[in-house]
Structure 1
Amino acid sequence: MKFTAKRVAVSGAVAGVAVVAVGATVIATAADPVSPEVVSAVPADAGHGDEGKYTTGDYVLNVHELDDDGDGITTAIGPHTMYYSKTLHGSGNRKATVVKFSAGPDSDASIVFSYPVPAPGRVVDCTASGTETAPQVRCETKPAR
């Protein structure tokens, strides 16, 4: 293949656009640390109305249900446990807007995943996997039963 100035310029332009697109995605992700809502048509588990559901993997998972001011409730859930939160949509005059997760026995550990609290009538179902040093949390929003 013969390289010409035109081919080199076009290749460089295409590479430049790709770098800018990747950079914009990284910047947008860093600017908005709350993961986008993933919606499922499958209803929540029967008997758990407006409760959030959290399932842990091989490590302690800290669930932080927080309001706009960063105040709220933190619950440490042991390994291989399923926990239903009755406070997902608030308790008293405090209404949670985001659920944040950290891994390990230290409740002040770095946040590894954040997810928006769904509107009333919908619940969040989150599952942790991976390891304590490389945790993975996936959440989806489901209609309440």
Structure 2
Amino acid sequence: MEFTAKRVVIAAAVAGVAVVAVGATVMATAADPVSPEVTGATPADAGHPGEGKYTTGDYVLTVHELDDDGEGTSTAIGPHTTYYSKTLHGNGTRRHTVVKFSAGTDGDGPIVFSYPVPAPGRVADCVAAGTEAAPQVRCETRLPAG
């Protein structure tokens, strides 16, 4: 196959369109960083009504329970640990609306996953997997136990 100026220009144009399409997908994802709520069929763990349940993998996971102003609580959870948060729905007059997660010991590290706080009486059950370099967090909303 002979490379002519016309073929080079067409190949460059096709590559440019592909880069723009991928960039638009990434920007659309960044514009709406909170994952949609997923409702699980199994009930929450007994004895932990209204609490968030966070299970970590092979790395430290920092959980940020925040209100609409970005205020709230952050908790670093060690590897291979399950932590129940009594402040999932807020405390006092503050009502949390989102749970955000960052990986590693830097509590101010980049957010790797966000999930909406479920309605009162329901809990978020979140599990971290993957590695600190490529973390994966999955959450489900669970109904009250019993």
- TM-score band, normalised by shorter chain: 0.7 to 0.9
Separation in 1 of the partners of 2:21 and 2:110? Answer: 28
> Partner of 1:89 in structure 2?
89
Output one character per residue of 1:6-34: Cα deviation in whole Å (capped at 9) or x when no partner: xxxxxxxxxxxxx9997765443221100
Output one character per residue of 1:41-74: Cα deviation in whole Å (capped at 9) or x when no partner: 2100010000000000000000000000000000
Separation in 2 of the partners of 1:21 and 1:123? Answer: 37
Separation in 1 of the partners of 2:56 and 2:48? Answer: 18
Unmatched segments (≥5 aa) in structure 2: 1-18
> Partner of 1:15 in structure 2?
none
> Partner of 2:37 in structure 1?
37
Separation in 1 of the partners of 2:44 and 2:22? Answer: 36
Distance change in 2, residues 1:143/1:22 (3 Å): farther
Deviation (angstroms), 1:121: 1.5
Distance change in 2, residues 1:58/1:94 (3 Å): same
The TM-score normalised by the length of structure 1 is 0.82
Identity of aligned residues (%): 79
Give the AA of the match of 2:63: V
The reply to whether residue 74 of structure 1 matches residue 74 of structure 2 is yes
> Partner of 1:126 in structure 2?
126
Which runs of at least 4 in structure 1 moved beyond 3 Å after TM superposition? Answer: 19-28
The reply to whether residue 46 of structure 1 matches residue 46 of structure 2 is yes
> Partner of 1:114 in structure 2?
114
Unmatched segments (≥5 aa) in structure 1: 1-18
Give the AA of the match of 2:112: V
Deviation (angstroms), 1:80: 0.2
Aligned length: 128
Separation in 2 of the partners of 1:136 and 1:111? Answer: 11
CA-based RMSD: 1.8
Separation in 2 of the partners of 1:99 and 1:137? Answer: 11
Give the AA of the match of 2:86: K
Deviation (angstroms), 1:109: 0.5
The TM-score normalised by the length of structure 2 is 0.81
